Amino acid sequence: MGYSKQDVDYSLYLVTDSTMLPQGTTLYSQVEAALRNGVTLVQLREKETDTKIFIEEALEVQKLCKQFKVPLIINDRIDVALAIDADGVHVGQDDMPIPMVRKLVGPQKIVGWSVGYPHEVDQLAKWGPGMVDYIGIGMVFPTSTKKNPKKLPMGPLGVSRILDTLEERDAHWCRTVAIGGLHPNNIERVLYQCTSMDGRRSVDGISVVSDIMAASDAGAAAANLRQILDKGRYSFLDFSLCDRSTDRETLLNVANHIITQVTESRPLVHHITNKVHQNFGANVTLALGSSPIMSEIKEEASDLANVPHAALLLNTGSVAPIDVLEAAIDAYNAHKRPIVFDPVGYSATATRRTLNDTLLSCGQFTCIKGNSGEILSLAGMAGKMKGVDAHECECGKEVLIQATRLVAFKFKTIAVCSGEFDFIADGTMKGAYSLSVGSKGIQAKDLPCVIVENGSIPIMGDITASGCSLGSTIACLLGGSGEEANVFDIVISAVALYKVAGKLASTRCQGSGTFHVQLIDALYQLFHANNPRSWSCNFEKL
């Protein structure tokens, strides 16, 4: 073989499929172009080819792979792999059992296995080292390449769960590649979001079929993927994820600067939100010097995201059609504009949970905001919620801090858990990702977290859409901020502004009706006065 099995580079793994070759190309021309442009491993996967032809093809592809010193893996056909002395084999769950495969190919060959569920990792761990060398984790996203798939797309969260199981079972020898529906528009996000909770593992590479095999210029396609893998940073916003402020004084100065920028830029805040919130949210947005638009038109999402200083608030309280929500997420991610996600009533019903999970797997959110019930459920720390209200949880501050950090870590976002105390955790890691080593040991418990407190404001719970409008406030400040701002600072400023306004309104109102009006007045006055140094709230940094 000429190289050690342990040193195999899994970073860019091409799986072939001759049924999708564009006109004027051949299996060999595509593989060669890919090898020239950074592919590090090749799997010959030709499901509809007769044995004789398969062997001829395998020998040709093997010549190319040898020329570029890249290992060749044969899909499913152990006999062909042995006949041509390939470097390894890849089998699926319904193919020959792994112990038999290993027995036939011997200890030196690479053995790969397709894995879609954590329990399959349990089996792999029981076999121990020396059986499976790497797993293909999939499918990540929908793909038309795999005919009659027996599993559903698992999204980045599903990949992370498999990485977690590998860590829990101490299967340190097993390498991983993600596969299924991977293309340049989602690979950075997959590399960024998929890490084990212990911070020690991310995928060792990505595996693609159509992105290279069906490309009219396979070399350019491979080079593009190579560049993404080597970049190491996912810039999901068009402003930098720079260092955050460290003390109250600086934070309040930053808040002043952010409000000035919002005043100057008058951001467009695109709301896709529930019916109860629409009118109030639009008025809150106007009070904060910003322009609301309540659009659920799929076709205009891209135009809106392209407006300078646009931001999206996605609130799933009453649910817009899924294709509208997905188009909006795609558009704001593509234009690198902020998205605030408010998963109202997450896990209150199976339908809501499925919808919210689908949305969470199809994009990168700048901020995820929820009440204690929603954040606990998203963190996997609570049972079913009752309705959409924050359930009076028995848990104390420590549990909510833990849940907020878990949500921030899982979704690599700024997580906000609202309530009497607002908890804000920063899991963005400045957009950094690396193959294999995860977040380099950083875990949820290590994430920066700030508590904002301003005394209890019970009347907040007596009006509709008060929590939803915190989402509007965060979106206004994120949308209006300039290049040098830090997202954590911006979200903390927005939470503090909203809390101070709530307190002020509660002292001025006569009941819940006038509280509604006073809250808008207070936001308007605090925003236009722009004097955060006078804000009464406390910040505690953890």
List the catalytic residues.
468
In terms of DSSP bridges, do strands 72-75 and 367-371 run parallel, antiparallel, or are they unpaired? unpaired
Return the axis-axis angle of helices 248-265 and 512-529, rounded to nearest 10°.
90
Q: Are 149 and 159 in contact (CB under 8 A)?
A: no
* Nearer CB in complex with ligand 3NM: 210/443: 210
**Minimum distance of ligand 3NM from residue 223's CB (angstroms):** 17
**Minimum distance of ligand 3NM from residue 33's CB (angstroms):** 17
Residue 210, interface with ligand 3NM (CB under 6 A)? yes
Residue 145, interface with ligand 3NM (CB under 6 A)? yes
Q: Which amino acid is at 343?
A: P
Distance in Å from the first CA to the final CA of the chain: 52
For residue 160 the two structure tokens come to 């992370």
Nearest CA among 62, 134, 72, 146 for reference residue 98: 134
- Helix, strand, or coil (residue 68): coil
Task: Fill in the per-residue mask, 383 to 412: x = in contact with ligand 3NM (CB under 6 A), - = not in contact.
Answer: ------------------------------
What residues between 339 and 368 interact with ligand 3NM by CB under 6 A? none
* Nearer CB in complex with ligand 3NM: 158/480: 158
Residue 265, interface with ligand 3NM (CB under 6 A)? no
Among 71, 155, 181, 345, binds ligand 3NM (CB under 6 A): 181
Nearest residue to the partner ligand 3NM, using Cβ: 138
Residue 139, interface with ligand 3NM (CB under 6 A)? yes
Distance CA 91, CA 115 (A): 10
**Minimum distance of ligand 3NM from residue 93's CB (angstroms):** 9
Residue 77, interface with ligand 3NM (CB under 6 A)? no
* Nearer CB in complex with ligand 3NM: 91/311: 91
Q: Which helix (H) or strand (E) holds 311?
A: strand 310-315
* Nearer CB in complex with ligand 3NM: 179/494: 179
Distance CA 163, CA 184 (A): 22
* Nearer CB in complex with ligand 3NM: 208/339: 208
Residue 161, interface with ligand 3NM (CB under 6 A)? no
Stretch that binds ligand 3NM, among 140-148, 247-255, 474-482, 492-500 (CB under 6 A): 140-148
Among 30, 40, 49, 143, binds ligand 3NM (CB under 6 A): 143
Cα distances (Å, whole numbers) of residue 314 to 84, 155, 272, 365, 455: 54, 19, 5, 10, 28
Stretch that binds ligand 3NM, among 4-12, 103-111, 177-185, 357-365 (CB under 6 A): 177-185
**Minimum distance of ligand 3NM from residue 143's CB (angstroms):** 3
**Minimum distance of ligand 3NM from residue 97's CB (angstroms):** 17
Residue 180, interface with ligand 3NM (CB under 6 A)? yes
**Minimum distance of ligand 3NM from residue 92's CB (angstroms):** 7
What residues between 114 and 133 interact with ligand 3NM by CB under 6 A? 114
Q: Map 233-301 to HEC letters.
A: ECCCCCCCCCCCCCCHHHHHHHHHHHHHHHHHHCCEEEEECCHHHHHHHHHHHHHCCCEEECCCCHHHH
Q: How many residues bind ligand 3NM (CB under 6 A)?
A: 16
Among 8, 15, 237, 355, binds ligand 3NM (CB under 6 A): 15
Q: Are 492 and 449 in contact (CB under 8 A)?
A: no
Cα distances (Å, whole numbers) of residue 418 to 13, 67, 376: 43, 59, 12
**Minimum distance of ligand 3NM from residue 209's CB (angstroms):** 3
Stretch that binds ligand 3NM, among 28-36, 141-149, 265-273, 355-363 (CB under 6 A): 141-149
Q: Which residues on adjacent β-strands are paired with residue 527?
A: none
Concatenating the DSSP letter of every residue in 366-404 gives SEEEEEHHHHHHHTT---PPPSSSPP--S--HHHHHHHH
- Taking the CB of residue 331, how many other CB atoms lie within 10 A of it? 23
**Minimum distance of ligand 3NM from residue 494's CB (angstroms):** 39
* Nearer CB in complex with ligand 3NM: 45/391: 45
* Nearer CB in complex with ligand 3NM: 136/292: 136
Q: Which helix (H) or strand (E) holds 323?
A: helix 322-334
Cα distances (Å, whole numbers) of residue 264 to 4, 215, 290, 309: 60, 45, 10, 11
Among 112, 136, 370, 532, binds ligand 3NM (CB under 6 A): 136
**Residues found near ligand 3NM in the complex (CB under 6 A):** 15, 114, 136, 138-139, 143, 145-146, 179-182, 208-211
